[in-house]
Amino acid sequence: MTTENSRPVVVLTHRVHDELLDLLGRECDVVSNQTEESLSAKELRRRAADADALMAFMPDRIDAAFLDGCPRLRIVAGALKGYDNIDVGACTARGVWLTRVEDALTEPTAELALGLLVGLARNIGPGDRRLRDGLSGWRPALYGRTLIGSTIGIVGAGAVGRAVARLLVGFSARVVYSDPNPVPAADAELLGLEQVPLEELLRTSDAVVVCAPLLPETTHLLDRVALASMPAGAMLVNVGRGSVVHEEAVAEQLRSGRLGGYAADVFEFEDLSRAHRPDGPHPELVDCTDRTLLTPHLGSAVADSRLAIEERAARSILQALAGCVPDGSVNDPHGLTVSGGSPAI
């Protein structure tokens, strides 16, 4: 769509920094959502019906039916890394570019993963609550465990998994990983990474950090059988995608006392690519405050990183509207040479 003054229309589905409104507003008419809430599906369809470009975020579901209602759309710029909530094939079939921002979230997500792991191991959440409830002084309670010298398994050795491994170097831990794509030998040696089958990783790790994206082959990768194979008292941290872990199975393992703790920044209900998903975080995980540490997708909640992500998504919009191949392209809707694709597990 172009407006009366021939300016393209860009729809932003979620709140962005003011700098982005200024950047896009120089060349486009911007339809923004500067609230903390997602637009309803109906309202988003209404706003996008005549849009030339759309900046989408993780809570959005962009499928064939949605795209059919946006006949003028030329690009969906994802302000995200994993794009399982966007139908790539449907975009390509309709001549719509899909872009993502690949690496701006890597370090912040890895940093949070380590924070969750330490918080879980050292009972930081329960300790905070105990002090606020009234602490009369030191008592021999809330004994946790140290990560130093432990065995830590990383499921998914893509950019985030390797960043987690880098942060673990100072813990003198044995770090093993499972991924169908081996880490280059030089990087593995530098990070002290050892590739093992998933079954061995689960069976031998004191703590497991999930960094895998959501793909058909990773959905409920850590199911009842997998979780039951972990050592008694082992800890599990998920910063990949919620549905890589079967939350009901996690709740069962916590209930039985076999799983030592679970920390997560991602949840099954967030995975819009799944037709049948929960309505919210599993209630038993929410209620189990002594052995869980749950955060509301804080892996990407770093102001500078978010601004960088939004700026890169905005640049890809401006490039596509100018007739260029946009940076971060996932697909090739016009038969051009494009680098991109799903992140490695």
Domain locations in the chain as residue ranges: 9-100+303-321, 106-299
pTM (predicted TM-score): 0.85
Confidence (pLDDT) at 219 = 96
Confidence (pLDDT) at 339 = 47
Residue of 72, 130, 274, 297 marked catalytic:
297
For the chain, list the strands marked E by DSSP: 9-12, 29-31, 53-56, 75-78, 97-99, 151-155, 174-178, 193-195, 207-210, 235-238, 261-264, 292-294
Neighbour-count burial of 341, counting CB atoms closer than 10 A to its CB (0-12 exposed, 13-18 middle, 19+ buried): exposed
Confidence (pLDDT) at 183 = 96
Taking only the tens place, the pLDDT of each residue in 145-158 is: 999 999 999 999 99
Residue of 270, 306, 311, 315 marked catalytic:
270
Contact indicator for 330, 341 with CB cutoff of 8 Å: yes
Q: Note whether 9-100+303-321 and 106-299 share their fold.
A: yes
SS3 state at 53: strand
Active site residue 276: no
Class of domain 106-299: alpha beta
Active site residue 297: yes
CATH superfamily of the 9-100+303-321 domain: NAD(P)-binding Rossmann-like Domain (3.40.50.720)
pLDDT along the chain (345 residues), means of 10: 71 95 96 94 95 95 96 96 91 97 88 97 94 86 93 96 96 97 95 97 98 94 98 97 97 96 96 87 95 93 91 96 95 73 37
Residue of 47, 74, 241, 246 marked catalytic:
241
Amino acid identity, position 163: A
Measured between alpha carbons, how far is 119 from 104 in angstroms, rounded to an integer? 24
Write down how long the chain is: 345
Contact indicator for 92, 332 with CB cutoff of 8 Å: yes
Confidence (pLDDT) at 5 = 58
Contact indicator for 287, 25 with CB cutoff of 8 Å: no
Confidence (pLDDT) at 192 = 93
- What DSSP designation does 218 have? T
Contact indicator for 254, 292 with CB cutoff of 8 Å: yes
Active site residue 4: no
Taking only the tens place, the pLDDT of each residue in 114-148 is: 999 999 999 999 999 999 998 888 888 889 999 99
Confidence (pLDDT) at 340 = 42
Confidence (pLDDT) at 140 = 82
